Amino acid sequence: MNPGSSLRRMIGVLASVVAVSAIAAQPALDVAKSSVTATFKQEGVPVESPFRKFSGNISYDPANVAAATALIEVDTGSLDIGDPAYNAEVQKPAWFDSARFPKASFRSTSIKASTTGFNATGTLTVKGRVLTITVPVTVRTAGNATTFDGTYNFSRKAFGIGDPIWNDVLEDQVVVRFRLVNAAR
């Protein structure tokens, strides 16, 4: 056995253990206290719809905001428009294509402090398409829990969301609001 390859293999294993430990050390979201909603306009009327399933973690230290990281994943099949037939419709290929793309995600690439929290720049991935966005996030801490609130807009057409026959009925812009609460340790 080559000692150099054994050493490289051992270093690889140690690096994997460190990476898994770092991920495990990041606080998970308390999904029972968190929410992610999408609001779109249908014939000029706002329709607010929650995503029922999502997960992720936000690693945040107010003393070192630039080192913060965030990864949020949303189950695209969990959008609840309030009607089972509409819920099934938005899972179809013209919309979220939930069978092929069961998750949408945001992964931070840069965090910069702001007066109320931070601005998170990262990749928003929906239906296999990736766009870089910046989201202003307000941070509040109460006891052992930290709450992250934010809102961002995106074009559903930029992600290929929606059957073109609905374009005269649905506006292109979608507003996503989130309240993410880190689980208390």
CATH number, domain containing residue 136: 2.40.128.110
Q: Are 80 and 43 in contact (CB under 8 A)?
A: no
Sign of the CA dihedral with 127 first, then 129, 134, and 140 last: positive
Residue 135 covered by a domain: yes
Instruction: Give how many domains the chain has, as a whole number.
Output: 1
Question: What average pLDDT does the segment 141-152 reach?
Answer: 93
Q: Specify the DSSP class assigned to residue 89.
A: H
Question: What average pLDDT does the segment 47-61 reach?
Answer: 95
Residue 7 covered by a domain: no
Question: What average pLDDT does the segment 10-25 reach?
Answer: 39
Question: Any bridge partners for residue 72, and if so which?
Answer: 56, 106
Structural domain containing residue 52? 29-181
pLDDT at 21: 34
Question: What average pLDDT does the segment 142-151 reach?
Answer: 93
Residue 166 covered by a domain: yes
Question: What average pLDDT does the segment 84-105 reach?
Answer: 96
pLDDT at 28: 85
Residue 108 covered by a domain: yes
Q: Are 60 and 139 in contact (CB under 8 A)?
A: yes
Residue 15 covered by a domain: no
Q: Quote the CA–CA distance of 66 and 80 in Å, as a whole number.
A: 35
**pTM higher than 0.85 for the full model?**
no
User: Residue 4 above 60 pLDDT?
Assistant: no
Residue 23 covered by a domain: no
Identify which of 140, 137, 110, 114 has the alpha carbon closest to the alpha carbon of residue 123: 110
User: Residue 23 above 80 pLDDT?
Assistant: no
Mean pLDDT rounded to a whole number for the chain: 87
Residue 79 covered by a domain: yes
Looking at 66-139, list the stretches that DSSP marks H as alpha helix, in order from N- to C-terminal side. 84-89
Residue 66 covered by a domain: yes
